[in-house]
Amino acid sequence: MSEEVIIARESENLTGTVRASGAKNSALKLMAASLLGQGKSTIRNVPLISDIYIMGRVLEALDAQVTREDHVLTIDTTAVERYETPYELVSKMRASISVLGPLIGRFGCAHVAMPGGCQIGARRIDMHLVGLEQLGVHFEIDHGFLIATTPNGLHGGNITLEFPSVGATENTMMAAVTAEGRTTIDNAACEPEIEDLALMLNEMGAQIEGAGSSSITIEGVPLSALHPCDHATVGDRIEAGTFLVGGALLGGPVTVEGINPSYLRMALMKLRAMGCIVEEGEQSVTVRRDGPLRAVDIQTLPHPGFPTDLQAQFMLLASLAEGNSVITENVFENRFMFASELVRMGADVTIDDHHALVRGVKRLQGAPVVSTDLRAGGALVLAGMAAEGETIVRKISHIDRGYEDYVGKLTSLGGNVERTVVDDI
């Protein structure tokens, strides 16, 4: 059998300018939110990635019409009368659970298959359900489906999340926009993608305040008060961070445009601590490095802490730094699966529960490796460009889920990478 792979070869440097695509983790939720608009909404700056295609199919299964022209999506939800999502689509991508909130907000009920996606942790949806139950939603699980009903209608509530979960915050917020009365979400997620979703919902006629902080207030409006809108997706801070790590790894300078530097505040702080020179513009960041990489300790935390989605990329940097680094993963329990692939390339990483001790080495060596998840795949390609010889990265479908034209963008910066089909390895 043959398989599509990415081959990364030792590269002298990455240098130049690349533009961040629209944020995957925002665009997917904006697509779900279009269900509340009951008409034809336009979403701009949407990345060309496989997860967007899958979410489009989820919406089409609900009888929405989804059309695409380059980076612009038009979603017409006028004819949507279904509220059941098919397992064969939802099982491919966890983000599809984000249709739960808007379906409840529109119909007062939903039948949503239990989600799938990257195998980087349990990521239970309990918190989604707890928040929604405070709004009057009743849940049952039947043969792999979540059955949501609102026997007494949707009503406002005071919700305190056990953990600032992005998905729970988004689903609760989207359902609450049509709930009668006021809803408060305390210990809410503060990610920029939450702000982007709230902005689009407000453009549709919702009344949301405080998004981007730990306390969000939603004044419910009638469903009839919501309407379609035209909205542009915020830039992808994780994609931007990945390219900036590439610049730090090989020297740069690499400039990423289309990203608000404040979205990467903690990551940029760590790049500086590792010996990089970081320059921030209004909507751009440039990274270069003249001296050796320095060891650094990192703890992943919800925003504005260090993002778990950049942990693998920074583990790569730490593996080539002078000294020992400790990386603590506080968000996803299985995210260190990437470490075993990096060790195959000569890295010195020891895992102890949710801590990784990374001892810097002089060089990495090219090797056959496997993408264990989306961000690990992106990091392994970077590792291959910093390693001696050739690295073959398999299971690149993970990379396609979140990076638009990854090979093309790296090539434009001078990376020695190619996408090709090989016989079974």
Q: Tell me if 400 is assigned to a ligand binding site.
A: no
Residue 256: which of 3, 6, 16 has the closest Cα?
Answer: 16
| Interatomic CA distance for residues 199 and 193, integer angstroms | 10
Q: Which amino acid is at 382?
A: L
Same CATH fold, 24-220 and 2-21+235-423?
yes
Six token digits for residue 202: 């407000």
334 labelled binding-site residue = no
| Per-residue confidence (pLDDT) for residue 94, from 0 to 100 | 73
Instruction: Dump pLDDT digits (tens) for 44-71.
Output: 999 999 999 999 999 999 999 999 999 9
pLDDT for 118 equals 37
Nearest CA among 24, 22, 23, 29 for reference residue 200 = 29
94 assigned ligand-binding residue: yes
Q: Is 331 annotated as a binding residue?
A: yes
Domain ranges of the chain: 2-21+235-423, 24-220
Scored b (16 or more CB within 10 A) or e, 306-326 reads: bbbbbbbbbbbbbbbbeeebe
More confident residue, 121 or 309: 309
Read off the pLDDT of each residue in 306-313 and give the average, rounded to a whole number: 96
**pTM score, whole prediction:** 0.94
- Which helix (H) or strand (E) covers residue 119, if one does? none
CATH superfamily of 24-220: Enolpyruvate transferase domain (3.65.10.10)
219 vs 97 pLDDT, higher one: 219
| Ramachandran class of 155: left when φ > 0, alpha when ψ lies in -120 to 50, beta otherwise | beta
Positions marked active-site: 118
Using the predicted structure, report yes or no on whether residue 132 has a pLDDT greater than 50: yes
Q: Is 187 among the annotated ligand-binding positions? A: no
**242-266 pLDDT per residue, tens:** 999 999 999 999 999 999 999 999 9
Which CATH code, of 3.65.10.10, 3.40.1440.60, 3.40.50.1110, 3.40.50.920, is assigned to 2-21+235-423?
Answer: 3.65.10.10
φ, ψ of residue 12 in degrees (nearest 5)? -65, -40
